[in-house]
Structure formats: structure tokens, C-alpha cells
Amino acid sequence: MDTSTGVLSPAEHFCKLIKEHSPSSLIVLDAVCSVASEEIRFDDWGLDLVISATQKGLGAPPGMSVLMASGRAITVGSLFVQQSLAMLIVSADFRVPQNTSTGVLRLMEEVASDYAGLRGWEADVFCDS
């Protein structure tokens, strides 16, 4: 869903096409506006990565990203992330762009745990007390 135009892309159809024509490709869905407001079937559609944020569909305070990753995406992505972080840390330009609200982190941890429990899932939430 695009908030400025209200256009909803046919994500399920795109996933089918990608799986058919490029089965080894990772499928990434930018769902900042769609998570919690539109249907997203992570496993059924074969999604590998869904990226969202707290301030749109979830209706929570801004300042935090929400990411869902398949096992395949984690396996492929971990090397990329490790290399990217290493490059940032050794770079003279490394800066933290903002400080995330601790209250938002704690709220999202509770919401994720509750939602996962209702679905019978385990929630991996990274929020140290």
C-alpha cells in the first residue's frame, strides 16, 4: 500500500512470478504501510523479508523498524549484514542517526510477544532490560 496514492500492489501475484522465473531470488516486501492493515501471508506467498515500521499500519509511535525474515533470508543475509556493519564501524563516517525511544521498544516487545503467542509462534525480540 502506498499512502500518498492509496495504490495496493498485487504482492501475492508478484511473489508467484518471482518464484516461477527466479526461484533462487529472495523476495523482499516493503510493507511500511501494509503491516497490520493489509493481508500479508508471509509463508503462503514465500516471502523472505518483510520490512515495516511502527508509525504506519501498526499505529504505534515512530522510531522503530519492524523486520520479519525467513530462515533462508537470515542465512543469506547474515554474511551481508556482518560485512556491511564491519564496513560502517571502520568508516570515519559511522554515526548513529537517532536514539530510539525505550518506551517504544518495550511496547513493541510486549505486542510482538502477545501476537506471537496468539498464533503459536515464538517472537524473537531484541530488547534488553
Q: Is residue 125 part of a domain?
A: no
Q: What is the C-alpha separation between 101 and 60, in angstroms, rounded? A: 12
Q: Is residue 76 part of a domain?
A: yes
The model scores a pTM over 0.85: no
Q: Is residue 65 part of a domain?
A: yes
Instruction: Count CB atoms within 10 A of the CB of residue 48.
Output: 21
| Helix H or strand E segment including 81 | helix 71-90
Long-range contacts: 25-28, Cβ < 8 Å, 24+? Answer: 26/72, 26/73, 26/76, 26/77
Q: Is residue 71 part of a domain?
A: yes
Q: Is residue 129 part of a domain?
A: no
CATH of residue 49: 3.40.640.10
**Ordered per-residue pLDDT tens for the chain, 129 residues:** 676 788 889 999 999 999 999 999 999 999 888 888 899 999 999 999 898 887 888 887 777 778 888 888 888 766 565 555 555 555 555 455 555 566 766 777 777 777 776 666 665 554 444
How many structural domains does the chain have? 1
For residue 129, the model assigns a pLDDT of 42
Structural domain range at position 73: 11-119
Q: Is residue 15 part of a domain?
A: yes
